[in-house]
Amino acid sequence: MVRERLSWVGHRTVGTGGTSKLNRVVHVEDANHKALAAIRAITPKPHGIFCVDLKGDEQGIPKPTEINCRFTTNVHYSTLASVKFGKPEWNFPWLAGRMMLNEPFPRCKELDALPSNLWFTKNVDMGYTIVEDENWRAAEVT
């Protein structure tokens, strides 16, 4: 899942790090391939969970900044989407558990598993929310 971070907690400047509060799922083929190449640079036969952080350079080309052998700290987004939309194949921790126990699991896309029309928010007072398409915008009253 490629997640574009659009704003940060504490009004930080975009791209300077920290906790993001507005994110959206995007499909970026180059980012997927760069992440896979970074993992394969560590081991030719990866197994287990990997999370690769990428940041676009001056030309917008994704570059790996870190690789973790664990779920990202934002794995709750895929789990929340799984529950809200009834898609167990989006619940990555559940899938990993099923695989580890050699239990059957639903097939899912290897890349871009979540649709690109999902937005996620994180707020200290509200917790996490997910919206589909542009449904998070307030309705215009005439």
Q: Say if residue 53 is exposed, middle or buried (CB neighbours under 10 Å; 0-12, 13-18, 19+).
A: middle
Which residues touch 115 (CB under 8 Å, ≥6 apart)? 25
pTM of the model: 0.80
Residues 79 and 137 in one domain: yes
Beta-bridge partners for 53: 66
Domain range for 66: 28-70
Whether residues 131 and 106 fall in one domain: yes
Asked if 78 and 92 sit in the same domain, the reply is yes
Q: What is the pLDDT of residue 27?
A: 95
Q: Does residue 19 sit in the same domain as residue 82?
A: yes
Per-residue DSSP letters for 41-52?
HH-SS--S--EE
Q: Is 70 exceeded by the pLDDT of residue 99?
A: yes
CA 57, 112, 45 angle in degrees (round to 5)?
80
Nearest-5° angle of CA 4, CA 5, CA 8? 175
pLDDT at 68 > cutoff 90: yes
Q: Determine the Cα–Cα distance for residues 78 and 90; give it in Å rounded to an integer.
A: 6
The count of domains in the chain is 2
Reported as a single tens digit per residue, the pLDDT across 17-60 is 667 778 899 999 999 999 999 999 999 999 889 999 998 899 98
pLDDT at 39: 96
96-117 burial code (b ≥16 CB/10 A, e <16): eeeeeeeeebeeeeeeebbeee
Do 49 and 92 belong together in one domain? no
Same domain, 92 and 22: yes
